[in-house]
Amino acid sequence: MTPRSTNSQTPKIRVRGLSKSFGDNQVLRGLDLDVDEGESVVVIGGSGTGKSVLLKCILGILEPDSGSIEVDGEEVVGLRGGDMDRVRRKFGMLFQNAALFDSLPVWENVAFGMIQSEGVARKRARETAAEKLAAVGLRPEVADLFPAELSGGMKKRVGLARAIATEPEIVFFDEPTTGLDPIMGDVINSLIVEIVQKLGATALSITHDMASARKIAHRIAMLYEGRIIWNGATEEIDSTDNAYVQQFVNGRAEGPIEMPVRQA
């Protein structure tokens, strides 16, 4: 994504000293990250580095062991019930596998959040769902299909329509191109850029797909051993002398990042 000018406002999302372990597996070890309003930040990192754990902590699905997560300057760690629901209403989320409900037609999948948490009437929700489906390039007939009748690319589009249905201030993208061929991946990336810009939303994504990161990010942050070890404008990633980033970006087996070839 083209660079954006920085501002000095309160970050939309501010993470400080975030730590999370599972038993003796210390996944996040004092992670710091800021995402400014209107900015698209992509967190990259190898498999199992804790990208999903980071996202789940921000979404309030996992409780961190320590650290702070502020959304619009409000501490969200420890929020419960109605207070957490209020914060969650700012969020839209595209899940890795689109996570559609198989028993609901496409339009109801898109309208789910509107009907459930915003109390929008079904008729109005269906109209909005149709608008969102058009915005992600799906024909009106798709509204009445069931998820099993869709291709992987169509499912991602439906997931994207659902993520933006409530016009969220912050959209999270979890591996948005996983399972797609490179061309469909690029189509989805382009849609993400277009939609985030139209909404004026803040975006935080996690991926190990560098093509996706380059396309959708203003700024890229690399997660390694529980912390953000590098963070910079997307166009700086190829010129950094950080050996970890270089190895990741170039997909090399040799380098400071050690990957077990066989796992016990």
Site residues (CB under 6 A) for ligand ATP, limited to 41-60: 45, 47-53
Question: Cα 253–217–240 angle (5° rounding)?
Answer: 50
Q: In the complex with ligand ATP, which residue's Cβ is closer, 42 or 111?
A: 42
Cβ 3 to ligand ATP shortest distance, Å: 26
Q: How far is the CB of 135 from ligand ATP (least distance, A)?
A: 28
Task: For residue 100, give the nearest of 159, 47, 58 by alpha carbon.
Answer: 159
Applying the rule CB under 6 A, the residues between 98 and 137 that interact with ligand ATP are none
Note whether 79 and 60 are within 8 A (CB). yes
Shortest distance, CB of residue 60 to ligand ATP, whole angstroms? 14
Between residues 165 and 188, which has the closer beta carbon with respect to ligand ATP?
Answer: 188
Q: Which of residues 182-241 bind ligand ATP (CB under 6 A)?
A: 208
Q: Provide the minimum distance between the beta carbon of 251 and ligand ATP in the complex, in angstroms, as a whole number.
A: 14
Q: What is the CA radius of gyration of the chain?
A: 18
User: Three-state SS string across 14-60, please?
Assistant: EEEEEEEEECCEEEEEEEEEEECCCCEEEEECCCCCCHHHHHHHHHC
Residue whose C-alpha is closest to residue 147's, from 112, 182, 120, 194: 112
CB of 88 to ligand ATP, least distance (A): 19
- With respect to ligand ATP, which residue has the nearer C-beta, 8 or 47? 47
Pattern 17-36, binding to ligand ATP, x per CB under 6 A?
-----x--x-x---------
Q: How far is the CB of 77 from ligand ATP (least distance, A)?
A: 17
Residue linked to tokens 């990741």: 248
**CB atoms inside a 10 Å sphere around CB 172:** 21
5 scored as a contact of ligand ATP (CB under 6 A): no
Q: Could you identify the residue written with the tokens 């930040």?
A: 41
Q: How far is CA 184 from CA 20, 154, 189, in A?
A: 34, 10, 9
Q: Which is nearer to ligand ATP, 53 or 125 (CB)?
A: 53
Please identify, using beta-carbon distances, which residue of 26 and 240 lies nearer to ligand ATP.
Answer: 26
**Residues in contact with ligand ATP, total (CB under 6 A)?**
12
Coil, strand or helix at 217: coil
Contact residues for ligand ATP, defined by CB under 6 A: 22, 25, 27, 45, 47-53, 208
